[in-house]
Amino acid sequence: MSAEPRIQFKKLKGFPDVDFNDNVKIPTHEFLMASKEVVMTIESFGKLFAPVTKDMQGNVDKLTKCFLKNPIKYEFLDSLILENKEDQVFSSDALLWLKRALELIHKFFENILNDVSFSENLKDHLQTAYDCTLKQYHGWIVQNTVTLIYRWVPNRSELLGNGDSHQENLVALKTYLPVMGMHLNYIDRFLKENSLAQVKK
């Protein structure tokens, strides 16, 4: 009997269903909850990934702290960021780095979903995702450390299961990833349009 997969995407609530074509903004609370789910998903990779999850959770916590100051006023993510534009530690920088990390995870699972060979070894999928997302923002020491950590990513069966469990995860990913991607694209445009796409030193 095969072990349960570490991740079951069908059980995740996921990112809020927002009609971005209708100028609807991202609800802050739902976005933060979905981001926490992603952190929990990465925690299932193993203890070696603690630096990754700690960094992501730290940015979620910064945004949550800001949100809880006035949940009504900051109902939407746009308002939370723009109202706290000058507080770089607890607003735009936190969202910027969280977005970058989420883009890495999105690309990783997108690579898995698009792999028609169903490769068991997911190291290349994770490394490729890193190379085209976060790598450009890291110095060589961090890059080398990340590469070492990523070698220990669990294989496909461990993460997504076998047989029916694996198929269920792939089906769920086909729904989960596009919605997540739309949120990340929206945030990326929002940060750039408001000149918040660069970290202030």
Residue 129 to residue 127: CA distance in whole angstroms: 5
Report pLDDT for 90: 63
Query: What is the CATH number for 68?
Result: 1.10.3520.10
Query: Sorting pLDDT into bands at 50, 70 and 90, what band is 21?
Result: confident
The contacts of residue 8 (CB under 8 Å, 6+ apart) are 165, 168, 169, 172
Asked if residue 116 is part of any domain, the answer here is yes
Q: Is the dihedral of CA 5, 180, 69, 71 positive or negative?
A: negative
Asked if residue 17 is part of any domain, the answer here is no
Residue-wise pLDDT tens digits, 24-74? 789 999 999 999 999 999 999 999 999 999 999 999 999 999 999 999 999
Asked if residue 82 is part of any domain, the answer here is yes
Q: What is the residue-averaged pLDDT of the chain?
A: 91
Asked if residue 156 is part of any domain, the answer here is yes
Q: What is the count of structural domains for the chain?
A: 1
What's the per-residue H, E or C state across 53-80? HHHHHHHHHHHHHHHHCCCCCCCEHHHH
Identify the residue whose tokens are 């530690």. Answer: 89
Asked if residue 9 is part of any domain, the answer here is no
Please give the residue range of the domain that contains residue 156.
Answer: 25-193
Mean pLDDT of 102-108: 97
Asked if residue 20 is part of any domain, the answer here is no
Contact call for residues 89 and 62 (beta carbons, < 8 A): yes
Query: Sorting pLDDT into bands at 50, 70 and 90, what band is 201?
Result: very low
Q: What angle do CA 47, 49, 50 make, to 5 degrees?
A: 70
**Angular region, 3: left φ>0, alpha ψ -120 to 50, beta rest:** beta
pTM for this predicted structure? 0.92
Asked if residue 15 is part of any domain, the answer here is no
Which range, of 5-14, 16-25, 124-133, averages the lowest pLDDT? 16-25
Asked if residue 12 is part of any domain, the answer here is no
Report pLDDT for 86: 66
